[in-house]
Amino acid sequence: MDTLLSRHWHHLPPEEVEALLESSATKGLDIFELEHRHAHYGPNRLTTQKGKSPLELFILQFHQPLVYILLGAAVVTFLLQEWVDSGVIFGVVLVNAIVGFIQESRALKAIEALAKSMEGSATVVRAGKKIMIPSAEVVPGDLVLLQSGDKVPADLRLLRSRELQIDESTLTGESVPVQKQPNPLAQETVLADRQNMAYSSTLVTYGTGAGLAVATGDSTEIGHINALISSAQVLATPLTRKITQFSGTLLWIILVLAGLTVLAGLLHGDTLLETFMAAVALAVGAIPEGLPAAMTIMLAIGVSKMAKRNAIIRRMPAVETLGSTTVICSDKTGTLTQNQMTVKEVCAGGRCYEFSGVGYAPEGSVSFEDSVIALKEHHVLTECLRAGLLCNDSRLIHSEGQWGIEGDPTEAALVSAALKSGLSLDASEQDFPRVDTLPFESQHHYMATLHRMATLHRTPSETHSVIYLKGSVESIVSRCQDALDYNEERIPLDQNLINQQVEEMAVRGLRVLAFARKIPNAPTLSVDHADVEAGLTFLGLQAMMDPPRQEAITSVCACQEAGVQVKMITGDHVVTAAAIANQIGLKCIMKDNLDNFAISGHVLAELSDQELVEVADKIAVFARVTPEQKLRLVEALQVHGHVVAMTGDGVNDAPALKQADIGVAMGMGGTEVAKEAADMVLTDDNFSTIEAAVEEGRAVFDNLVKFITWTLPTNVGEGLVILLAVFLGVALPITPVQILWINMTTAVLLGLMLAFEDKEPGIMARPPRRPETPVITRELAIRIGLVSLMLVTGAFGLFEWALIQGQSLEIARTVAVNMFVFGELFYLFNCRSLRYSMFQLGVFSNRWLILGVTVMTGLQLLLTYAPTMNLLFGTAPIGLVEWIWILGGGITIYSVVGIEKRMRRQADQQATD
């Protein structure tokens, strides 16, 4: 039995399956065999993969360069007995560690949700007796009985079925329930086409069946998905990768400069304690203590904004990742489409009619050649629609303002089309009461219903009965001897015309059903297959599809204009997927024919990893793909350098959702497994929300870059001031405690106010950032260096000027501290936009920034003039002349940066022209 679970069960005949499993197709397993199999295979549950312990996961959160810097800052401030500052910095490190610990625990939660999806009960036959047991007790070889409403408890090889239909959308992405049959299939048949298999956790929507369990627990297809979720890597986001790289570089710079400071001090004859304190001051000045807190708060603000736009963020860095996204891989069913079958076209009486409206709601109109028609003038169309309405076992349900269905989605679409045209279900059933039914069976591919006709609807030569048929085009046309023309006259059947119409519909991704009727020669109370073997009159074709969401069409266009590729990855057929892709406007690099626009999972399976990397970047539509292939596609795009967002709602999407840089799950129609694996959940299941999220993500990253561009000149300037003082052998212009005051207060009251800046114009008109682009570009690095130089010159120059004027060391240091703070304050207005001036944005458009500037100014006055603050921070009151010089320095910084920004705008404009 150990080797059996890997067999191609769909390829084997039922008798061989029965023999290999040592079970019976009628009696099931023997009671004595059950205990052995329970012991051998264990419970029918998914096992949780053992990973790192919670303590290991938590400790690993501190293993990052930026955290090393912050821990160093915490230790330094602790040694300086600055208990509050040390506690704040260590608190930031601890919060970041907790957030990281939570995000890395998501995989375990996803697996637990997947395991819950398998819970339930199962009906089995054991030793010839039909019993109900918990699903967890099903073992390989069990004979499992299925009926409408059941959740399949294990992977089954079907032995018999009667009108059995199973919804496999959460596993394969197929939008329509699959008709099942027990006959063997070719070995290479892909999972979505294995009609003789029933898979664990899928849902029986219609009919009955029986099959032998061939796989349970981790050996099932859903168990395989569980393994894929466990193996998928949680990737660092573009922001965290860049911050890690930036932090590592900064760490080495600080260590080198601190070492140079110690060396220079010793060469000047300073004591070891003095040189050590100077090195400490330099390190404290160069460390951007406020960066982690600012990053966390800015991301949290982004989370809040996106929640108002129906996007719930489960992992904060995902906000910024959306702004970096270069490719969105979207599931089709329920994401880009309505997940509601809709009749779009009916061909009857030699004419083809178009139906408006989407979904199950019976709202819309019928038109011919772009003109809305009245149904009473088109009798053959009426008869075709009536056939779809009456030869039907499904119903539309209107509840709480929403239209739903009871039964099969395809049949519900036929009901909706008939009601749109003006037919009434109650009136039709009253005028044509059903007498007998031939249910749909896989070997016949049609359904027939016998009705008694009211006198109003028959001519004197007609009997009281009519038989309506619906089914596949081949099965219906082969039974027809004639057709009805527009005037209801019987004419010879034109099979070439029908085939042409079917082919045209198929190219557009429409699913086609044919309809016919037969009027018996004599009244009858029953119908069988012999009655409909021949002599039917062809009524017409009804073509339907799961239509695209209108808002998805707009959103896809907006994403593509923003330079973000949109790709469709689905379990549906290639032609259907390509047709939907064309309707929503998907673009690809090689859209010269279907082969270069859409590709099937069967072809993907033959590609090497290198070939897949090239194909994944060029092709727009991937159809009939398995969960493993979805995961491979995401990995291939990432190898190509893309930042990938993956949307989905089914169990089959979970591994790819977890592997993607950002996974996006549907909140209303999505499974719990998908939600647990995702970084973001859309509460309205609306693809257009992703567009809003991308926009918001770009705005968050813009504001983060603005903060970094604003804060680094201070850190660089403080470090250079200390280094310059040590090299020149003079007193330090600012002390470590004063540096901490500058860094912590300005980061909160000035820098964080940039988080409230509105999105800049044209944010979605520019291409996405290239993943390899550093946070600080060459242009910004030059600006940071320029401002750093001006801060160093202003602070050190005013410090020395004050000493030359005969002022005390405390007054000189107070001047230097205020020069740094007000230099930052004026530079903050430059950083509201990296390209435009504050006058173009609106001077008072960011009221939070004005408030922060006001409070910061008040605190600096307290630092300068309050006796307690003078005592704590080594400051002293200064006069009006000093303030004039300080404010003059700040205005100079603002003016120089403003001129530099204007010159860059002009250069860009000239390059564009």
Q: What is the pLDDT of residue 218?
A: 84
* 237 phi, psi to nearest 5 deg: -75, 160
Q: Looking at residue 335, what DSSP letter applies?
A: I
Q: What is the mean pLDDT of residues 884-905?
A: 93
Q: Which two tokens stand for residue 702?
A: 């813009």
SS3 691: helix
Read off the amino acid at residue 900.
E
pLDDT band at 782; cut points 50, 70, 90: very high
pLDDT in tens, 296-350: 677 777 777 887 888 887 776 777 778 888 999 987 877 788 878 999 999 999 9
Beta bridge partners of 342: 545
pLDDT of 105 over the 80 cut: no
714: buried, middle or exposed (CB in 10 Å: 19+, 13-18, 0-12)?
buried
End-to-end CA distance of the chain: 74
pLDDT of 674 over the 90 cut: no
Which residues, 6+ apart, have CB-to-CB distance to 400 below 8 Å?
A: none
pLDDT of 590 over the 60 cut: no
> 207 with 161: CB under 8 angstroms?
yes
pLDDT of 238 over the 70 cut: no
pLDDT of 85 over the 60 cut: no
Residue 907 CB neighbour total at 10 angstroms: 10
> 124 with 135: CB under 8 angstroms?
no
Distances (CA, A) of 145 to 82, 157, 214: 72, 12, 14
Q: Which two tokens stand for residue 864?
A: 């300068």
**Which DSSP helix (H) or strand (E) runs through 451?**
strand 446-452
SS3 804: helix
Distances (CA, A) of 596 to 330, 606, 629: 18, 16, 18
Pairing of strands 662-666, 644-648: parallel
pLDDT of 406 over the 80 cut: yes
Distance CA 904, CA 640 (A): 32
> 307 with 611: CB under 8 angstroms?
no
Q: What is the pLDDT of residue 860?
A: 96
Read off the amino acid at residue 498.
I
Of all residues in the chain, the percent with pLDDT exceeding 70 is 86
Annotated active-site residue 331? The verdict is yes
pTM exceeds 0.75 for this model: no
Catalytic residue among 331, 572, 617, 702: 331
Which residue, chain included where needed, has tokens 């609306």?
686
Residue among 303, 313, 375 nearest 346 (CA): 375
- Residue 603, CA atoms < 13 Å, CB-side half-sphere: 15
Alpha-carbon torsion (617, 621, 624, 626), positive or negative? positive
Distance CA 543, CA 827 (A): 64
> 667 with 684: CB under 8 angstroms?
yes
Q: What is the pLDDT of residue 845?
A: 87
pLDDT band at 257; cut points 50, 70, 90: confident
Distance CA 589, CA 569 (A): 16
Residue among 57, 237, 239, 221 nearest 154 (CA): 221
pLDDT of 74 over the 80 cut: no
Distance CA 845, CA 759 (A): 12
